[in-house]
Structure 1
Amino acid sequence: MKRCHLAYLACVAALAGAGLGTTPAAAAHHQLLVVHPGQSIQKAVNAAHAGDTVLVLAGTYHESVTIGTPQVTLRGVGVRTVIMPAAAKATKAGAKAAMSCAGSGNGICVIGTRTKDVKDVTVADLTTTGFTRAGVFGMATDTMTVRHVSAVGNGVWGIAQERSVRGVIRDNHAHGNGDAGVFLANTITEEAGAYDAGNTLVSHNRLDDNRIGVTVRRLRNITVEQNGISGNCAGVFVVGDENNPKAGALSVTGNRVVRNNKFCAKTDRLPAIQGSGIVLTGAEKTRVSGNLVNGNAGDSPLSGGIVLFKSFVGATSDKNSIEDNTLADNAPADLVNTDPGKGNTFQRNSCRASKPAGLC
């Protein structure tokens, strides 16, 4: 029999039955557990061991799901596998392991502990929508992969990770989420210096109609590359503050950041945002290169193509390199530097207007 994790659709017919499908005992080390409409995804996840795949067939599933077992893959069959919140009266019927995820308003949670990261979990080929917080959320994860996920219309984030390393967020579509399409942070519940994210990769995603396309907050060692980012209030935010170590030592390269001109009202932390392409605030040693940044225009202090802005808590941006970008039709300018930080360089950018003059 072919290995189910390599040809899972071909295995479904052989595994389908009245209950939860699994591979024969001979292949027990790599089980495929098949979830049909009306069945519990959480029940299958709870039965999975390291190396197993939980395959969720097309349908709408009203539940939240928590994964704490390493090397488990949760996979749908594409956008027709839809995970939505349970009705309030039905939440209690969900598995106990999912309660904290559901209770926090998240769809799929991958959660380690304070002392041990959960490793090598994959979430793929499905839709998460309508959750009050995040469609997919990871905390204390190592090499968590999220791919081919459509995270649509969630209250805060499409896909989010905190206190995690070596993540891969690739080939997803995050649309219409209340805050960031992709959100990466050290922690949002306490003050702390930037966390080394272990070369986390955010690549080839489509991020549109969110508040912000990608937010990287108080982190180091991340690559944001080859993403299509449009129709948000802001494209990319790299955010640091007065804590040490400082945010930065990361790369924003090869992205298409176009017409992020949606208007977002001010919050307790930020002024109104509109027309911000790529913003660095309170960050250091960040390389912004090879990006196409066009048509981002607004009247916010953060508006412009590529913007260096002094943090609202007073932290400066230092030793950042802005090079080899192609910019046009951004307002108030293609390149904007209102940060008094030291050592920031602007080289070989194709642009027409800068603030102050002379950066192009």
Structure 2
Amino acid sequence: MTRRKLTFLACAAAVVAAGLGATPSAADHSTVHRVQPGESIQKAVNAAEPGDTVLIAPGVYKEHVRVTVPDLTLRGSGAARTVLVPDSKEKDACAKAGSGICVLGTDDKPLKDVSVQSLALRGYAKHGLWATGTDRLKVRGVLAEKNGTWGIALERSVRSVVTHNAARDNGDAGLFVANTVDTEEGARDTDGTVLRHNRLSGNRIGVTVRRLRDLSVEHNEVTGNCAAVFVVGDERSPRAGDMSVSHNHVHENNKYCAATERLPFLQGSGIVLTGAEKTRVTYNRVENNQGTSPLSGGIVLFKSLVGTPNENNDIRDNLVTGNSPADLANRDTASNNTFSRNTCTLSEPAGMC
């Protein structure tokens, strides 16, 4: 054997030895905490460390779960098999807030890399899942139904991925994402939060995006709500907007919801922008949303509650048909929003189809 080959083999052996002697990664020490019916999910979460998984067996669990451990996976056995419902006896902060699962970080110390998967959250007084102050939260395969306010709700959170969930028959929005719910401030940048491949039905509003920037709402099916998609802004700075609403199927959102202090009655609203800027509404299929509310129609631009107009929004390449009183409705005062290459029949004002 040549000296060159001997040298190569010696180096290769050194590399292998270094690899074998290296300290294992945190993932190598991760633990699966298994929860069976009658056992406490919260107890397993409390025992978990970063990188661990809490695996919940099929069954119905009367519980409110508070997550403050980073890099934790909370996984059920499927939304039809693992079901969480309220427990009136619980008195912790999450129970008092009326939520099923609370994922809790802060602005100063965001809770990172939490994943909630494959379970149902049913009948909570306020929210099925509530998350605040998170970074890279993942919510997948969750069914949130018949909760008092929001099905799945996020605030003060960045880089979230909310995908392949179902939210139905919730008191307000099926999916709700916002800058913050307890203070008045300008829009926050989500650093690319994605709401994708969700099915939203029977809620007051399918998706509400409030005072946010840099976010995408895409490939969702939204049907049977009073209103499908609301992008909400106002006069504060930064303005809400700079987001994408694309490739959604928005159809037959004709449920009736009474007026509130903030909004007129809702019925037959497809995609509605109020007080937003630089939002791209593209390649959506918006069909058969019909009503007589000021916000009714297929794709609607409407000034915000404080009179702030939508500006520099781009509505194009959408199929918008069978909506009433109009497929496209520009009920705003600004002149710098653009409508182009949309396939539709009726517009307000005329001439946009």
TM-score by length of 2: 0.91
Distance 2:100 2:302 in 1: 34
Question: Following superposition of structure 1 onto structure 2, how do residues 294-309 of structure 1 map, counting pairs within 5 Å?
Answer: 294-309=287-302
State the Cα distance separating 1:27 from its structure 2 match: 8.3
Distance 2:125 2:161 in 1: 24
Answering whether residue 264 of structure 2 is matched by residue 271 of structure 1, we say yes
Which residue of the partner structure matches residue 65 of structure 1?
A: 65
Answering whether residue 348 of structure 2 is matched by residue 348 of structure 1, we say no
Distance 2:217 2:27 in 1: 38
Which residue of the partner structure matches residue 206 of structure 2?
A: 213
Distance 1:242 1:100 in 2: 33
Which residue of the partner structure matches residue 91 of structure 1?
A: 90
TM-score by length of 1: 0.90
Which residue of the partner structure matches residue 30 of structure 1?
A: 30
- Point out 4+ residue stretches in structure 1 off by more than 3 angstroms: none
* 8 Å CA contact retained: 1:147, 1:172: yes
> Could you report, residue by residue, the CA deviation over 1:208-257 in whole angstroms, capped at 9, with x for unpaired residues?
00000100000001000000000000010000011111000000000000
Among 128, 145, 148, which residue is 2:141 paired with? 148
- Three-state SS of the structure 2 residue aligned to 1:101 is helix
* 8 Å CA contact retained: 1:317, 1:342: no
Distance 1:264 1:331 in 2: 17
State the Cα distance separating 1:113 from its structure 2 match: 2.1
Which residue of the partner structure matches residue 256 of structure 1?
A: 249
Which residue of the partner structure matches residue 325 of structure 1?
A: 318
Which is higher, the Rg of structure 1 or of structure 2? Answer: 2
Identity rate, percent: 57
Q: CA RMSD in A?
A: 1.1
Question: Following superposition of structure 1 onto structure 2, how do residues 1-360 of structure 1 map, counting pairs within 5 Å?
Answer: 29-78=29-78, 79-87=80-88, 90-92=89-91, 99-360=92-353
State the Cα distance separating 1:342 from its structure 2 match: 3.5
State the Cα distance separating 1:314 from its structure 2 match: 1.1
Distance 1:145 1:237 in 2: 22
* 8 Å CA contact retained: 2:275, 2:310: yes
Distance 2:144 2:301 in 1: 29
State the Cα distance separating 1:188 from its structure 2 match: 1.5
Structure 2: any 5+ residue segments left out of the alignment? 1-25
Distance 2:165 2:286 in 1: 21
Distance 1:210 1:312 in 2: 22
* 8 Å CA contact retained: 1:290, 1:325: yes
Q: Would you say how many aligned residue pairs link Structure 1 and Structure 2?
A: 327
> Could you report, residue by residue, the CA deviation over 1:154-186 in whole angstroms, capped at 9, with x for unpaired residues?
000110000000000000010100000000000
Task: Return closer, same or farther for 1:271/1:49 CA change in 2, 3 Å cut-off.
Answer: same
Distance 1:151 1:228 in 2: 15
State the Cα distance separating 1:81 from its structure 2 match: 0.5
* 8 Å CA contact retained: 2:27, 2:51: no
